[in-house]
Amino acid sequence: MTTGSATTATDRREVIHLDRRLVRRARTLAIRAAAPVISLARERTTVSVERAVLRLAGLRGADPTTGDGDIPWVNRVVDAVRDQVGLEHGVALPVWHAMHEGGHASLLDLAEAVTAGTARFELPTDAAATRAHNAATRAAKAGLGQIDRNRATRDRLIRILGDPPRRPWVYLIVATGDIYEDIPQAQAAARAGADVIAVIRSTGQSLLDFVPEGATRQGYAGTYATQENFRLMRAALDEVSRELGRYVRLTNYASGLCMPEIATLAGLERLDMMLNDSMYGILFRDINPQRTFVDQRFSRMIHARAGIIINTGEDNYLTTADAVDDAHTVTVSQLLNETFAHEAGLADWQLGLGHAFEINPDLPESFRLELAHALLARHLFPEAPLKWMPPTKHMTGDIFRGYLLDGFFNLVGALTGQGILLVGMMTEAVVTPFLSDRDLALQNVRYVLDAAGGLTEDFHPPRGGFIESRANQVLAEAVGLLERITDDGLLNAIADGTFGITKRPADRGKGLDGVFVKAPGYDNPAVTLMEADLGGREPS
């Protein structure tokens, strides 16, 4: 197996038998259901996609002259282009034409002229358009080159330092709000056995239509996702990686109104995983569906280029819907996420598709049902790492019961070959976990994986038994739902509350005013360059 890949079900014999006809039917329907949304995403652009183009080209920093929170330069420039000529043709031609005509030495010089009110944008034609296109392409190519170099650096560090010695990778969250407090906590977690550190994002950042600048120290239930925070944490984890002799991965969140920009910053600062789900922002943050799908396609193309593993958010559906009655909606979402990801160039090894241990523990046979659902995901997506999420909905505050539930969750992960295991906390739903809580949680994971990690070769539920039958039942229900979605349309299904029982119409929600239908001659050199080289590459 190549360095950096996660253990998959194909590394051992088949554990349960799925109806192959249903598997083929499910994938065919997912492709049909996703096709109209993919067409919509190709035909539109957004303010955040256009800002990401400028970030790739090297425009950083914020306007220091304002009293409204230091608005990033990329916002200033894109808003000016939008006001003067519109965004239907993209920012590349107007911006690089203005650079040439105004004699601006850099994008920063142009941005300062925007604030001063002296920059003028127009849509160039003929030779002027060709000149602007070529200049914009060179700038985008330089940014993508930095992402390519970061990917090569990751591969080199993994070859030198090595990957974690076991699967699944142990994934642990830090969330103090202060990047300078997050760093020692993250390093301590790595020393205690964490393989992946996730810096959870500050509450509400997904609803900001700009990315804050600089190192931040005052997040709420998390730390702001900024380029400087990414740089600081990646450097800290590189330091502890060399100390431990294994590469420690870094995760953040590419979601919300600035999804394309945050994905770009992740590539520029060598993050390794990003939360990136097809419908999470729509369902749980009321972000407009059109905005989400357009932004998502660009962000996933960046992730494919950067060799970043995405983590999807199907576990969130089960916090509002029933984990048994609505288990098939998770499977449908996984199949749609896979389809959108493949179209954007992501390979199977980059698909950390989400699912969760959220069945009510008081339900008879709850553990067997969890095994069935986990094995269904593992066998449907044998080459994907999968991200297995701990119990949250039924954590009551009884820390002893919670610790036991987390142990059962860890056991399912070990038995079913999950690729990424998010560490559960016995104080979930009580307080933001302390370092001591994380240490106890990691002890739970280590005990289960050390004591039972090899059970994957012994665990073979009987053919036609409870677990196999339940997995096929959920698969059949998923096919039925996909048939309805294909007939009615995915956007209508989202509007009807199919996923997570939350209704989100396509003509409502935050960010719709930042979506634009592309005009003939639309030019986005970053998209053109990435589309020319679509396809996730295996780590070397």
Beta-carbon count within 10 A of 237 CB: 23
| pLDDT the model gives residue 68 | 59
Instruction: Tell me what the mean pLDDT of segment 249-258 comes to.
Output: 95
What's the helix, strand, coil split of the chain in %, to 5?
55, 10, 35
pLDDT digits (tens, 9 = 90+) for 104-142: 999 999 999 999 999 999 999 999 999 999 999 999 999
| pLDDT the model gives residue 438 | 87
| pLDDT the model gives residue 10 | 39
pLDDT at 287 over 70: yes
| pLDDT the model gives residue 67 | 66
Q: Which residues contact 153 (CB under 8 A, 6 or more apart)?
A: 270
Beta strand 420-422 with 515-517 is unpaired
pLDDT at 535 over 80: no
Indicate the pLDDT class of residue 432, thresholds 50, 70 and 90.
low
Instruction: Tell me what the mean pLDDT of segment 476-483 comes to.
Output: 97
Among residues 85, 98, 92, which one has the least CA distance to residue 51? 92
Task: Return d(Cα 27, Cα 19) in angstroms, integer.
Answer: 13
Instruction: Tell me what the mean pLDDT of segment 521-535 comes to.
Output: 91
Instruction: Tell me what the mean pLDDT of segment 187-202 comes to.
Output: 95
Every domain range in the chain assigned CATH 3.20.20.440: 11-36+179-476
Task: Return d(Cα 177, Cα 229) in angstroms, integer.
Answer: 11
Task: Return d(Cα 119, Cα 95) in angstroms, integer.
Answer: 10
Residue 183 CA, chain-centre distance (Å), reads 22
Contact 309, 272 (CB under 8 A): yes
| pLDDT the model gives residue 538 | 46
pLDDT digits (tens, 9 = 90+) for 371-380: 999 999 999 9
DSSP 202: P
pLDDT at 1 over 70: no
Q: What angle do CA 195, 199, 202 make, to 5 degrees?
A: 165
| pLDDT the model gives residue 430 | 57
| pLDDT the model gives residue 321 | 82
Task: Return d(Cα 243, Cα 257) in angstroms, integer.
Answer: 37
Task: Return d(Cα 198, Cα 179) in angstroms, integer.
Answer: 12
Work out the mean pLDDT of the chain and round it to a whole number.
92
Burial class (CB in 10 A: 0-12, 13-18, 19+), 463: exposed
Indicate the pLDDT class of residue 316, thresholds 50, 70 and 90.
confident
The tokens for 32 are: 């049909």
What architecture (CATH level 2) is domain 11-36+179-476? Alpha-Beta Barrel (3.20)
pLDDT at 436 over 90: no
pLDDT at 540 over 80: no
Instruction: Tell me what the mean pLDDT of segment 374-399 comes to.
Output: 94
Catalytic residues: 280, 315, 387
Indicate the pLDDT class of residue 4, thresholds 50, 70 and 90.
very low
Instruction: Tell me what the mean pLDDT of segment 8-30 comes to.
Output: 83
The tokens for 164 are: 């974690």
Contact 317, 356 (CB under 8 A): no
Helix axes 92-102 and 73-84, enclosed angle (nearest 10): 100
pLDDT at 7 over 60: no
DSSP line for 285-328: H-B-HHHHHHHHHHHHHHHHHHTPEEE--GGGHHHHS-TTTTHH
| pLDDT the model gives residue 241 | 98
pLDDT at 13 over 70: no
Instruction: Tell me what the mean pLDDT of segment 383-406 comes to.
Output: 94
| pLDDT the model gives residue 14 | 82
Position 149, amino acid: R
pLDDT at 323 over 50: yes
pLDDT at 433 over 70: no
Task: Return d(Cα 123, Cα 500) in angstroms, integer.
Answer: 44
Instruction: Give the CB-side neighbour count of residue 254, counting CA atoms within 13 A.
Output: 39
| pLDDT the model gives residue 537 | 47
Residue 224 CA, chain-centre distance (Å), reads 16
Helix axes 73-84 and 47-56, enclosed angle (nearest 10): 130
pLDDT digits (tens, 9 = 90+) for 38-97: 999 999 999 999 999 999 999 999 998 876 568 999 999 999 999 999 999 999 999 999
